[in-house]
Amino acid sequence: NHLDAETTAWLEGHLRTYPGAILIVTHDRYFLDNVTGWILELDRGRGIPYEGNYSSWLVQKQKRLHQEGREDEARERALAREQEWIGASPKARQAKNKARIQRYEDLLERAAQRQPSATQIVIPVAERLGQNVIAFDGLSKSFGDRMLIDNLSFKLPPGGIVGVIGPNGAGKTTLFKMIAGQETPDSGSISIGDSVKLGYVDQSRDALDAKKTIWEEISGGNDVIYVGKKEIPSRAYCAAFNFKGGDQQKKVGMLSGGERNRVHLARTLQRGGNVLLLDEPTNDLDVETLRALEEALEDYAGCAVIISHDRFFLDRIATHMLAFEGDSHVEWFEGNFADYEEDKKRRLGIDS
C-alpha cells in the first residue's frame, strides 16, 4: 500500500519471474493486471475465483452481476465505465483527461444540479474558481542540509487534477504544507487566488475519536447533514463511502487502516472546497471505494492536487503530473501518469 511507483514496478518484475506460487492481497489494479493469473474475490462471505487478471475480472464480474439480476445498477455502470476506460487507446485516454480543462464550465453547471446519494461520492464545491488558482514562482525548499525542491515554477489551471509522485521522503507532503501555510519556502513564492478555498486531506488519522461509531464521527450525531450547501441524510452519506447497514455502528477504535481512511475522507470532503489537497488518499482503500473516488473527482467542479502511488488512479483522473525525480528536481508535465512515464524515458533514457 505504501510503496512508491518505482518500487512497485521493480516488485512486479521480480514476481513475474518467481518460479513458485504467490498469494497477494492488494487493491493495486495495475499490479493485479501485470502480475496475476487468477483473482479470488471475497463477496458476502464467499470466495469466488476468476481466471485471468484484473481487466479480465472486470468483464466476468459484470456478467455475474447481470446473471444474478442484482439491483445494483450504479455499481454495474461504474464497472462498465472502468472497463471502457481500460479498453481505450492511450490517445483516447489522454484526450478525455485533457477535455476536462475545456469543459470546466460544464462541470460547474452539473455540480449545481447534482444531488448526493448513497451510490456515489459527491465532492461539494465551495464557489466558482477564478482564472488565478495557485501559481508557484521559483520555489525552493530545504530540510536541514538536504535540498527538496529547487526553483519550481508552474500554474495550476482551473479544472486541473494534478498527480504528485516521487519516492517517499522526497518532499511531496512538505509541498502541501507550504500551500496550506504550515511551512514557508526558503525562496520563491506561492500565490493563491482570491477565489480559492482549500480543502486539505492529510495523512494523519489521529484526530478521529476511537470511542465514537463511524456514523457519529462522520455525522456528528445528526440525522441530516450538509454536504457543501446541500442537505443529505447522514446515513446515506456514510453509505457512499462504503459504510452500509450495521457497519456504521462500528467503533472507530476497532477499524482497519483502510476504514479509518474512508472515515477521514468522508469527514473532510463533506466541508467542500474548490481546490483539494489530497495527501495519499488512495492508501488502504478497497477497489470499490477507489472507483467511487475516481468518479467523484472526474465530476468534481474544482481543482485537485493529489499525492498518490496508485498508477491506475493517476492514469484515470490526472490532467497533469508533478514528479519529484531526485536531486531536488520537480518536473511539471501535462498529461497522465502513463504519458509522463513515456516522456521521462525520452528525456532520461529507457532505464529511468
Question: In the chain, pLDDT over 90 holds for what percent of residues?
Answer: 39
User: Rounded to an integer, what distance in angstroms lies between the CA atom of residue 273 and that of residue 157?
Assistant: 16
CA 235 to mean position of chain CA atoms: 23
Per the model's pLDDT, the better-predicted residue between 41 and 140 turns out to be 140
Q: Per CATH, the architecture of 94-207+270-348 is what? A: 3-Layer(aba) Sandwich (3.40)
H-helix or E-strand containing 292?
Answer: helix 287-299
Distances (CA, A) of 225 to 69, 75, 241: 33, 24, 15
Q: What pLDDT was estimated at residue 266?
A: 87
Query: Which residue, 312, 304, 323, 322, is CA-closest to 265?
Result: 304
Cβ neighbours of residue 153 closer than 8 Å, sequence gap 6 or more: 136, 137, 138, 139, 188, 332
- Give residue 113's pLDDT band: very low, low, confident or very high (50, 70, 90): low
CA distances (Å), 108 to each of 101, 102, 188, 297, in order?
A: 12, 12, 32, 13
C-beta neighbour count of 288 within 10 angstroms? 13
Domain ranges of the chain: 5-89, 94-207+270-348
Task: Give, rounded to a whole angstrom, the gap between the first and last alpha carbons of the chain.
Answer: 23
Question: Which pLDDT band holds residue 120 (cuts at 50, 70, 90)?
Answer: low
pLDDT, residue 211, reads 94
Max Cα distance, the chain (Å): 62
Rounded to the nearest integer, the mean pLDDT of the chain is 85
The number of residues in the chain equals 352
Q: What digits encode the pLDDT tens for the residues 208-257?
A: 899 999 999 999 999 999 887 778 889 988 988 888 889 999 999 999 87
DSSP label at residue 157: P
Same fold, 5-89 and 94-207+270-348: yes
The sign of the torsion formed by the CA atoms of 310, 312, 302, 222 equals negative
Answer whether 35's CB lies under 8 Å from 15's CB: yes
Distance of CA 152 to the CA centre of its chain: 24
pLDDT at 117: 46
- The CATH superfamily holding the domain 5-89 is P-loop containing nucleotide triphosphate hydrolases (3.40.50.300)
Q: Say if CB 304 and CB 126 are below 8 A apart.
A: no
Q: What is the DSSP letter of 58?
A: H
Give the C-alpha separation, 283 to 258, whole Å.
Answer: 7
Q: Is residue 108 predicted with pLDDT exceeding 90? A: no
Q: What's the average model confidence in pLDDT over 43-69?
A: 83
Q: What is the pLDDT of residue 208?
A: 86
Residue 103: pLDDT over 70: no
Per-residue pLDDT tens over the stretch 5-39: 788 888 988 998 898 999 998 888 888 888 999 99
**Residue 230: what residue type?**
K
Q: What is the CA radius of gyration of the chain?
A: 20
Q: What is the pLDDT of residue 116?
A: 46
Question: Residue 282 and residue 271: Cα distance in Å, rounded?
Answer: 19
- Residue 233's φ and ψ, nearest 5 degrees, are -55, 130
Query: Strand ranges (DSSP E) for the chain?
Result: 38-43, 46-51, 134-143, 146-156, 161-165, 187-192, 198-201, 224-227, 230-233, 275-279, 303-307, 320-326, 329-334
- Give the span between the Cα atoms of 50 and 41, in whole angstroms: 8
Gap between the Cα atoms of 145 and 128, Å rounded: 41
Q: Are 139 and 190 in contact (CB under 8 A)?
A: yes
In this model, does residue 190 exceed pLDDT 80?
yes
